[in-house]
Every structure is written in C-alpha cells, then in structure tokens.
C-alpha cells in the first residue's frame, strides 16, 4: 500500500471533519508527502507508520523553528513554566485553528 493509497483511504474521514479541521488534515498529509521518498527506503515499516513519522518530523521541525523565533524575540522558551502565562496557562492546539474547539467529552 502506498502513501497515496493510505491518504485516499482516509477520504471519508476527511470529509467528516469540520472545514477548519480539513485544512489541518490536508497540511498534515502535505507534510507526509514531503518524506515519501525516504519512506520507500524503509520497506520493513508499514507505510502508515512511515506517514506518521514523516508528519512528526515536520511538526518537530516547525516546533523547533517557532521556539527559536520566540527565543530570538526575547520571549520565554516553551520549557519555561511561565511560558503559557499569556494564554492563561492553556496551550492553544490545532483544534483552535478554525474557531472554537469542539468539546469531545474527554
């Protein structure tokens, strides 16, 4: 099974997402495609595992870039317990991108 086949298999899941979440989903799939060639070298992994690793790599790179940008602006690093003070101690997640986060009851 190829990466595109996995992504295609998620089309119903994507369709069920809210519009703002679909934007995030599409961005994650774009991140997975950036490393599709590297994943082909690891034949022993399930292609879905490769996809998730690729997404994690891209998210970690973005996280590192944002931390460095914050440091360069004289802000507190994310490792600082007071880093979240400006948000009332609450970290803002991807669910907040398209508007109010959905209450999942968890």
pTM comes to 0.58
Residue 87 domain flag: no
> What CA–CA distance (Å, rounded) separates 46 from 16?
25
DSSP the chain: --HHHHHHHTHHHHHHS-HHHHHHHHHHHHHHHTTHHHHHT-TTS-HHHHHHHHHHHHHHHHHHHHHHHHHHTTPPPTTSTTTTGGGTT----GGGTTSSPP----
Residue 85 domain flag: no
Reported confidence tier of residue 37, pLDDT bands at 50, 70, 90: confident
What pLDDT, in 10s, does the model give residues 48-66?
Answer: 888 898 899 999 999 999 9
Residue 35 domain flag: yes
Domain that holds residue 17: 3-76
Residue 25 domain flag: yes
Instruction: Please give the average per-residue pLDDT across 24-39, as a whole number.
Output: 90
């Amino acid at each position: 099974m190829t990466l595109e086949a996995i992504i295609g298999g998620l089309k119903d899941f994507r369709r069920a997402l809210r519009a703002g979440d679909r934007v995030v989903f599409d961005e994650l799939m774009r991140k997975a495609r950036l490393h599709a060639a590297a994943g082909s070298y690891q034949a022993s992994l399930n292609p879905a595992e490769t996809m998730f690793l690729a997404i994690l790599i891209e998210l970690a790179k973005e996280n590192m870039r944002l931390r460095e940008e914050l440091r360069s602006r004289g802000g507190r690093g994310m490792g600082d317990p007071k880093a979240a003070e400006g948000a009332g101690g609450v970290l803002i997640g991807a669910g907040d991108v398209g508007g109010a986060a959905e209450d999942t009851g968890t």
